[in-house]
Structure 1
């Protein structure tokens, strides 16, 4: 019997055993526990991740059985097992399944390593993988034995059994020392990194999380693995351990070599490396410091406000307000007071303190007028006066207030048609269109769908707080050939939907995509899908997109959000195109 007045051989190695226990639990996704021959808890995860060094104070029949018989024990249905008979804690026991392996050295049992299921899903995992899990646990037991034998000598390399365990894992694994030099990488890791062993070992590499929350969420996240000028985007979990670091790669990795976005860059939110997007980024950096007005033209959902923000952030006004207003989303009766403000008693219902308008709120900064084409003609005249005089006249006031603002506006309308039909002032158009930006639709941004999908997967998994799922090559192919009438906004909404429904541990595959993506798989290229559209008028194209969105979503508020227009504007267009017969709530 062991001397209970001094730490057991296992307790003397407690930090090392705790590290292996945590790794075992992470790999098998089952909670684990280690006790010594005196039933003192050495290490554990989940409910057993505390009270180390304390003797178990509950009935420990299964542990005692393993220690006394020196035999492995598996219980796949607790409470009905003979060993559970007579247990004082049987009625309150949370353990649903158990797999325990003795730690043997020279025919002497030092303790027990066990896997414990607390949920029905975990119980089924143990039941369906008894032999595999048993082999893993035995490997860890052998590692612990070797550490006991060698604890008085300095171990300069990885344990042979530990290395063998990693070699036989399907997941990619990198082990680094405290100086970020790779001590070991298994073949799946080399395959994911697309490098050879001699390019990896004894070279300093960096693993940096791209997560918005860094390592606060303990699940698969995107990381940049870099070595000099070379870098690679890898999904995995990063662990700091005593003296070395362990990086477990996810089974599902991005299927393309993405251009890694620098989150520290002021242009980092402008995702895209297609020729048109590269040209647009150059234009943004070239004109950002100018005080001249910018007009962004593009289809609904292409990300016009993202571009406006980028221009502001790169300008000398970046420390001043960026004020955005959607001219189509605010009723005409309120738009004037929102923009220009009012003085006390200006109209019935006005605040007795008056109110500064958004133009004044943007003083020294940038005012972004989204859907400027929906601004009423009367307000267009007042806005023109502000641009010419650099003064704003609140409603009910006789005194103009000086303002220093830069106007960035955006639209999906054809201004030439609107000017020709007296729906937009030509003089205001030329004031706004000093620097024109043409934002391409998603279907014309070759290669950017994969980049954006990767970005939105990262963004939505972090926002929701779930593990990064990855996406199959076939699912990505279908996204690439789809025509994206809702553009980037539609892609973001789709990815958020997929992140919510994909089972944990699985990757996004074609069976999770909405039904209309099956039709898109028959299209050989995005251009082929649009041959007919190019022969249509702009109004026909707009009608078709609204009609398709109503059929697909069935909710007019969701349709308006996807198309990037106000609900009032949507109702006007439904009436204009006589789409009232289509059912939508």
Structure 2
């Protein structure tokens, strides 16, 4: 571009357009680029975030086509599309899909806004949402043209564009000032918070991440929004724009508002509010300060180590070591040396420095012995001596070392049967079972499945580093109805799987669940219980509901809003149920 050449209309507004472009990219999770009528790059993200003000030096056939025809262009099969024929950059092009929209000022095309995919996953997102994305980009183009170029007061014009964009976004948006005070919220945000604009202007509002680790991640995360005495759980993310912070709410929010009580730190991982879990928490609080041994009994996968940690954290030993070992996972000979340690030269292959055993390492703290029912009779006798004498004898040593430990053990075995068949010492059992704790299986914990799902969604999205997804009422009903033979461990593994496979920005729906969830019987009202054979399946009910909404409403976006699902989910279900003619 010539040094003294006049700037185009778009280049004069470059900072504003750059901010819009970054916001567009963040909302749609795709890279974006804006060029003017001279093919000068005005703004861009990802690979296009450099060389603003420079004319494109590679082939620009698609941009030229849009500028000349004033028509949008979609390419979902790059390199094979006719418009790519003869492109000099074709061999090295990494773009997998492209959606370009002209920026029209009256009858002139003053530039192009484009969305670009660089992976197969992003390509599919453009392919499946062409009309939705096109409408969204066209709307932004209209705002830029109609608002930025009107009036002589440019700064006021920019503020109008900024406000208009936020007002017309489908996502909830809160605008915060430099002191993190909320100045404004658009209508979707007000709906999510169940508050009016006037109430918002007078309310004391505080936004805090649900987990302190959330700030380290990109994408939507759970936040607690405090509005005076009331609290709401909202999924969203922060963006810095023009000295302000924007809090962009995700399309998919938790199904209901929550009054969130700050959990006690020691129970932060003991998730459950059913009667049995409340009784268990009360028991843990009472026995935590005691030095007596605890035996936790429960099915595999119920979370016995989590309960052991809670007992330790509530005790006076919480600042001392918590040592855990799985007795079933380690061969018997190795388990002995791990527990009791050994001195130099105790046996062939022993370290010449000796080794401190886990019992000694847990001194002043807690030793957790998981699956203790798998311990051999020989080791049981040695462990009994430790409990009786409060001292440990390393292998090969003649000197006992005093230890002060609390033993918490766990099993899913039937001790009565094991004692009767001489597979477990009765005297050791009574030493371990001073305080018995029974951990109920997940199928007996009514109402806890949903709490655990929300908890594991938070854990696994943070671990993987992806956006927090929504979950449909139908999918939650299936998960609640399932019998969970693998208990909490199975639920955690399933949620981790779902977090990996759900499309970004979409909701977890029944069609993402493994096939065996189709057999889960959904609880029905008592009146319908006698006519199960005639009752409609969940899918049939859903199909009728969607079909009725499609026939009644003229706009699919309105259908998605009424059904409480994302537009991408709606299109997927329309295809699934063969409703594309509606």
Please state if 1:451 is matched with 2:451: yes
What is the rounded CA distance, in whole Å, between the counterparts of 2:357 and 2:91 in structure 1?
Answer: 67
What is the rounded CA distance, in whole Å, between the counterparts of 2:259 and 2:329 in structure 1?
Answer: 36
The aligned runs of 1:147-546 (5 Å cut-off) are: 147=148, 149=150, 152=153, 155=156, 159=160, 165-210=165-210, 213-257=213-257, 260=260, 262=262, 265-419=265-419, 421-521=421-521
| Contact preservation (8 Å) 1:294, 1:408 | yes
- Give the equivalent residue in structure 1 for 2:73: 74
Distance 1:399 1:151, change over 3 A: farther
Q: Secondary structure at the match of 1:292?
A: coil
Distance 1:343 1:478, change over 3 A: same
What is the rounded CA distance, in whole Å, between the counterparts of 2:461 and 2:391 in structure 1?
Answer: 45
What is the rounded CA distance, in whole Å, between the counterparts of 2:84 and 2:19 in structure 1?
Answer: 30
Give RMSD over aligned pairs.
3.6
Distance 1:129 1:442, change over 3 A: closer
- Give the equivalent residue in structure 2 for 1:97: 98
What is the rounded CA distance, in whole Å, between the counterparts of 1:338 and 1:413 in structure 2?
Answer: 23
What is the rounded CA distance, in whole Å, between the counterparts of 2:372 and 2:78 in structure 1?
Answer: 67
What is the rounded CA distance, in whole Å, between the counterparts of 1:166 and 1:188 in structure 2?
Answer: 10
Deviation at 1:459, TM superposition (A): 1.8
What is the rounded CA distance, in whole Å, between the counterparts of 2:523 and 2:346 in structure 1?
Answer: 58
Distance 1:129 1:337, change over 3 A: closer
- Deviates further, 108-117 or 372-381: 108-117
What is the rounded CA distance, in whole Å, between the counterparts of 2:520 and 2:126 in structure 1?
Answer: 41
What is the rounded CA distance, in whole Å, between the counterparts of 2:485 and 2:128 in structure 1?
Answer: 45
Q: Secondary structure at the match of 2:311?
A: helix
- Give the equivalent residue in structure 1 for 2:57: 57
Please state if 1:35 is matched with 2:53: no
- Give the equivalent residue in structure 1 for 2:538: none
**What is the TM-score with the length of structure 2 in the denominator?**
0.78
What is the rounded CA distance, in whole Å, between the counterparts of 1:333 and 1:465 in structure 2?
Answer: 41
- Give the equivalent residue in structure 2 for 1:572: none
- Give the equivalent residue in structure 2 for 1:575: none
- Give the equivalent residue in structure 2 for 1:535: none
| Contact preservation (8 Å) 1:261, 1:271 | no
What is the rounded CA distance, in whole Å, between the counterparts of 1:122 and 1:361 in structure 2?
Answer: 51
- Deviates further, 74-83 or 140-149: 74-83
What is the rounded CA distance, in whole Å, between the counterparts of 2:259 and 2:277 in structure 1?
Answer: 13
- Give the equivalent residue in structure 2 for 1:582: none
Distance 1:482 1:115, change over 3 A: closer
- Give the equivalent residue in structure 2 for 1:532: none
| Contact preservation (8 Å) 1:204, 1:227 | yes
Deviation at 1:176, TM superposition (A): 3.2
Deviations 1:259-307 (A, max 9, x none): 7585882321111222322332233344434333222222221111011
Q: Secondary structure at the match of 2:409?
A: strand
What is the rounded CA distance, in whole Å, between the counterparts of 1:84 and 1:441 in structure 2?
Answer: 60
| Contact preservation (8 Å) 2:371, 2:410 | yes
Q: Secondary structure at the match of 1:200?
A: helix
Distance 1:482 1:343, change over 3 A: same
What is the rounded CA distance, in whole Å, between the counterparts of 1:303 and 1:128 in structure 2?
Answer: 41
What is the rounded CA distance, in whole Å, between the counterparts of 1:346 and 1:366 in structure 2?
Answer: 27
Q: Secondary structure at the match of 2:312?
A: helix
| Contact preservation (8 Å) 1:343, 1:354 | yes
Deviation at 1:392, TM superposition (A): 0.5
Deviation at 1:325, TM superposition (A): 1.1
Q: Secondary structure at the match of 1:18?
A: helix
What is the rounded CA distance, in whole Å, between the counterparts of 2:148 and 2:121 in structure 1?
Answer: 33
| Contact preservation (8 Å) 1:72, 1:102 | no
| Contact preservation (8 Å) 1:21, 1:33 | yes
| Contact preservation (8 Å) 1:182, 1:202 | no
Structure 1 residues without counterparts, runs of 5 or longer: 526-585
Deviation at 1:175, TM superposition (A): 3.3
| Contact preservation (8 Å) 2:100, 2:112 | no
Q: Secondary structure at the match of 2:224?
A: strand
What is the rounded CA distance, in whole Å, between the counterparts of 2:481 and 2:307 in structure 1?
Answer: 25
**What is the TM-score with the length of structure 1 in the denominator?**
0.77
What is the rounded CA distance, in whole Å, between the counterparts of 2:271 and 2:383 in structure 1?
Answer: 32
Q: Secondary structure at the match of 1:140?
A: helix
What is the rounded CA distance, in whole Å, between the counterparts of 1:211 and 1:394 in structure 2?
Answer: 43
- Give the equivalent residue in structure 2 for 1:576: none
Q: Secondary structure at the match of 1:237?
A: strand
Structure 2 residues without counterparts, runs of 5 or longer: 526-582
| Contact preservation (8 Å) 2:74, 2:98 | yes
What is the rounded CA distance, in whole Å, between the counterparts of 1:125 and 1:297 in structure 2?
Answer: 48
What is the rounded CA distance, in whole Å, between the counterparts of 2:259 and 2:351 in structure 1?
Answer: 52
- Deviates further, 408-417 or 129-138: 129-138
- Equivalenced residue count is 522
Deviation at 1:517, TM superposition (A): 2.4
What is the rounded CA distance, in whole Å, between the counterparts of 1:347 and 1:117 in structure 2?
Answer: 62
What is the rounded CA distance, in whole Å, between the counterparts of 2:51 and 2:3 in structure 1?
Answer: 20
Deviation at 1:103, TM superposition (A): 5.7
| Contact preservation (8 Å) 1:289, 1:315 | yes
Deviation at 1:323, TM superposition (A): 0.9
Q: Secondary structure at the match of 2:23?
A: helix
Distance 1:163 1:521, change over 3 A: farther
| Contact preservation (8 Å) 1:340, 1:360 | yes
What is the rounded CA distance, in whole Å, between the counterparts of 1:505 and 1:435 in structure 2?
Answer: 47
Deviation at 1:473, TM superposition (A): 1.2
| Contact preservation (8 Å) 2:308, 2:368 | yes
- Give the equivalent residue in structure 1 for 2:548: none
